[in-house]
Amino acid sequence: MNTPQSNASHSTASSAPLWRLMVATGNVVQAVRAGRSMTAELEAVSAELRPGVQALSFQVMRQLGRAIALRALLAKKAPPPAADALLCTALALVWDEHAAPYPVHTLVNQVVEAAQQQRQTRPQSGFINACLRRFMRERAELVARTETDPHAQWNHPHWWVERLQLERPEQWQTLLSVAQKPAPMTLRVHQGHHTVAAYQLQLEVLGISSKKVGLSGLQLDKAVPVQQLPGFAQGHVSVQDAAAQLAAPLLLAGLDTEKSLKILDACAAPGGKTGHLLEYCPQARVVALDVDAARCQRIHQNLQRLGVQADVRAADAGQVSTWWDGEAFDAILLDAPCTASGIVRRHPDVRWLRRPTDSAQLAKIQAQLLHALWPLLAFGGRLLYCTCSVFKAEGDDVVQTFVRRNTDALLQASPGHLIPGQIPRGLPVGDNALGEHDGFYYALLEKRRH
């Protein structure tokens, strides 16, 4: 996600001065530290600045723990939020000069300029300048002093590191290291249009290298704009992580996909899994729900591009009486709300937004959704419960409790927690064939008669 090295004009390809990028990036960092989503903040940035600000913001989020630790050494008392965000932004970008997106002296000068250009940070511009100049002089010593701080070393909150150490004693370091790297771009090929091999050849002709992952996926060696993908606008291919691509085949395996199955996608936005279900089972009658009407528009857009249709409704899946017509479903996909701890490399702000109590609170919501939707499933039908979390409270703990309380629920062979770097089990694909996948959880439940 690094932006290219800047020349002496300190300008991006759009000719925006670097200090303006720094102002906007500092604002994003301040917003995240106040509990707001980076995605929403970036959407509010002007189109001219957004690519550069996004690249810088992603890098800062991945190094924010180190930056906060360094700032604490430079100034025991934090400056006002806007100045602190700008100072931490600078430290996150310059502490490792080999990974700096611009020459370090350029970044320091432009951050100070950014502080002087803003009314809310102008009074602290001298303080920011002094801190950064001191850091430049004492870099080696200051960085060394932060090496024993897990917050700085792993760039995750202390509680997050400790939870992974407890729950994943053999994988915690891998999980934290993977979260520091940009996620690969993985495609799902619509095999109604092309075989995976045929589409891979189309990419090769364009100079786009890839490797096969999963049943119908291609992981690109280097990300490209979707407009460069052959047939993207016509729905020949979609962007979807390899772990997420397992939902449709796991849910529909063993069911007669030639029939007009009635399927519920309970938390469907933005519609990637909904579309995949319809690619697998074109005759299916799919009801796709999302509680947010605006996000339902995303579902419509994705389905329209794929050339498939579903009954998309803005509704709370847990409030069954407000949307269900009384006809049982043959299959239910419950991609439940979660901490998103498994996709933190794609959303590096998540680690700074979550709180230690979030998993337990979300687990209650997950259990409530399972309890509400289970009666809607026909006997012999299947429910696939999944989350994009690596925390056990949002995976095995929820499912095992549900199975104990519902004797008509049979837990089928399922992958369970998919941990990056760990060979998966119970997949409809060969072992370790998912490439560099996200962290995920899957449990397949079949409804049987007592």
Q: Considering only CA atoms, which of 173, 174, 175, 159 is closest in space to residue 352?
A: 159
The Cβ of residue 359 has, within 10 Å, a number of other Cβ atoms equal to 20
What SS3 class is residue 289? strand
**Under 8 Å between Cβ of 359 and 425:** no
Residue 115, number of CB atoms within 10 A of its CB: 28
CA atoms within 13 A on the CB side of 196: 14
Residues in Cβ contact with 214 at an 8 Å cutoff, skipping those fewer than 6 apart:
242, 245, 246, 429, 433, 434, 435
Q: Is the peptide bond before 270 cis (omega within 30 degrees of 0)?
A: yes
In one-letter notation, the amino acid at residue 279 is E
- Candidate list 88, 131, 267, 388, residue with the active-site label: 388
Rg (CA), the chain: 24
- Catalytic, 388? Answer yes
Q: Which amino acid is at 238?
A: S
For the packed helices 139-146 and 125-137, what is the interaxial angle rounded to 10 degrees?
90
Alpha helices in 75-182 (DSSP H): 81-94, 104-117, 125-137, 139-146, 150-154, 158-167, 172-178
What is the spatial distance between Cα 188 and Cα 194, in angstroms, rounded to a whole number? 11
Residue pair 34/41 in contact (Cβ under 8 Å)? The answer is: no
Q: Tell me if 165 sits within 8 A of 153, measured CB to CB.
A: no
Burial class for 119, CB neighbours closer than 10 Å (0-12, 13-18, 19+):
exposed
Please identify every residue annotated as catalytic: 388
